[in-house]
């Protein structure tokens, strides 16, 4: 089957069969890795107390066993780097990579350029579940107190939301157009948001904590959140990237995919579950951060090609860098106050979504 999959030509997003690069070029992979490293250094260097990027880079290299460089930082500054800013920067990389990878995966599974964890209602489903955990348990820090319950609840909520969106989008017939699916996602999100509002009204003592979480944040008191998200990141990335060729085959249609030895529904459900798991992990750690799954994959397609063998790994890398750098903007734009990162991504993603919507107007009927 793998030989048949590798022989399938990559289609242009508009479905015209225009050949595009199907292999991940080394220069783009190197660019993605460099972007992640730059975002990591920037995320650790800039904040209420700015540190020299060169010194920060040297101190980060000192974390590698056997490396010992003189960074010139004081003990207090080293503590800021390793105990405060580095965990937050790494968490931003993980969350950004998950959201961008999930967005690219959903777009391939549903063959819809507008699919995104936020627009499909997946993030809202995870958000409702996490809100229920925070409100009903009334813990001061739900993630620290319930390390297993919160991601599990978010996963169930995310999977339930994407199932509702998919079924509602198919209610009018077998043809799930981009417009129908997005409208279904908006309806599901509105329904889930209403449930979330009801929970908050019944548990007013949790409103401040939940609202702060809903706006999106990467605040972390250490490595706990990173260790919580990391296993889900690895599992999601492995499953989705191992099935990246199958997404190219699914773009041809179910009949053609089946003739090449692929089981379309099985692959589709597996990828939906994996992307929903990644979205749930990201939401449980950072709150609702929208538009990352729209901005990054479409930028990658525009620059590097439309094959999922290219889009998925690059979306993960550039998505990680994008969110880490966005967090720097959120921390410094209104210093000493901090702008919620969800607000920053919404300001960037709103105009970008309009651009994508206009580009995809021929697909919307």
Per-residue pLDDT tens over the stretch 84-110: 899 999 999 999 999 999 999 999 988
Q: Is the pLDDT of residue 360 over 70?
A: no
Burial class, 7, CB count within 10 angstroms (exposed 0-12 / middle 13-18 / buried 19+): exposed
Mean pLDDT of 260-287: 86
Query: How many other CB atoms sit within 10 Å of the CB of residue 203?
Result: 17
Is the Cβ–Cβ distance between 353 and 291 less than 8 Å? yes
Confidence of residue 6 (pLDDT cuts 50, 70, 90): very low
Note the pLDDT tens digit of each residue in 30-80: 999 999 999 999 999 998 888 999 999 999 999 999 888 988 999 999 999
3-state helix, strand, coil in the chain (%, to 5): 70, 0, 30
Q: Is the pLDDT of residue 358 over 90?
A: no
Q: Is the pTM of this model over 0.75?
A: yes
> What percentage of residues in the chain have a pLDDT greater than 90?
35
Note the pLDDT tens digit of each residue in 292-335: 999 999 999 989 988 999 999 999 999 999 999 999 999 888 87
Q: How far apart are CA 236 and CA 294, in angstroms?
A: 18
Please provide the average confidence, as pLDDT, over all residues in the chain.
82
Note the pLDDT tens digit of each residue in 183-241: 888 899 899 989 988 888 887 776 777 777 777 778 765 788 898 899 999 999 999 99
Q: Is the pLDDT of residue 344 over 70?
A: yes
Q: Distance of alpha carbon 47 from its chain centroid, rounded?
A: 24
Q: What confidence score (pLDDT) does residue 297 get?
A: 94
Q: How far apart are CA 183 and CA 189, in angstroms?
A: 10
Helices 264-286, 224-242: inter-axial angle, 10-degree rounding: 160
* Cα-based torsion angle of the residue sequence 270, 272, 277, 282 in order, rounded to the nearest 10 degrees: 150
Q: What confidence score (pLDDT) does residue 151 get?
A: 74
Confidence of residue 2 (pLDDT cuts 50, 70, 90): very low
Q: What confidence score (pLDDT) does residue 314 get?
A: 96
């Amino acid at each position: 089957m793998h030989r048949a999959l590798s022989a399938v030509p990559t289609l242009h997003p508009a479905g015209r069969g225009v050949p595009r690069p199907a292999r991940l070029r080394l220069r783009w992979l190197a660019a993605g890795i460099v972007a992640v490293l730059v975002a990591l250094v920037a995320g650790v260097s800039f904040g209420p107390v700015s540190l020299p990027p060169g010194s920060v880079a040297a101190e980060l290299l000192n974390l590698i066993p056997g490396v010992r460089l003189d960074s010139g930082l004081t003990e207090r500054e080293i503590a800021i780097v390793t105990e405060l800013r580095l965990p937050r920067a790494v968490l931003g990389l993980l969350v950004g990579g998950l959201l961008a990878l999930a967005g690219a995966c959903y777009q391939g599974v549903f063959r819809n350029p507008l699919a995104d964890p936020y627009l499909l209602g997946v993030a809202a489903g995870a958000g409702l579940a996490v809100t229920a955990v925070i409100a009903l348990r009334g813990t001061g820090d739900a993630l620290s107190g319930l390390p297993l319950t919160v991601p599990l609840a978010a996963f169930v909520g995310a999977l339930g939301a994407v199932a509702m969106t998919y079924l509602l989008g198919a209610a009018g017939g077998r043809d799930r157009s981009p417009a129908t699916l997005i409208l279904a996602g908006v309806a599901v999100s509105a329904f889930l948001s209403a449930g979330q509002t009801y929970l908050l009204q019944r548990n007013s003592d949790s409103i401040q904590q939940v609202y702060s979480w809903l706006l999106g944040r990467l605040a972390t008191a250490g490595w706990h959140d990173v260790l919580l998200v990391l296993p889900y990141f690895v599992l999601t990335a492995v499953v989705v990237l191992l099935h990246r060729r199958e997404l190219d085959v699914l773009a041809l249609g179910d009949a053609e995919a089946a003739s090449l030895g692929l089981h379309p529904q099985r692959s589709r459900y597996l990828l939906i579950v994996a992307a929903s798991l990644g979205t749930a992990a990201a939401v449980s750690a950072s709150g609702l951060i929208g538009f990352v799954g729209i901005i990054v994959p479409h930028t990658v397609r525009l620059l590097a090609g439309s094959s999922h063998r290219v889009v998925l790994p690059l979306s993960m890398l550039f998505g990680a860098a994008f969110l880490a750098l966005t967090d720097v903007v959120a921390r410094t734009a209104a210093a000493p106050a901090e702008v919620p990162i969800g607000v920053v991504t919404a300001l960037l993603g709103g105009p970008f979504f309009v651009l994508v919507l206009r580009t995809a107007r021929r697909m919307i009927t």
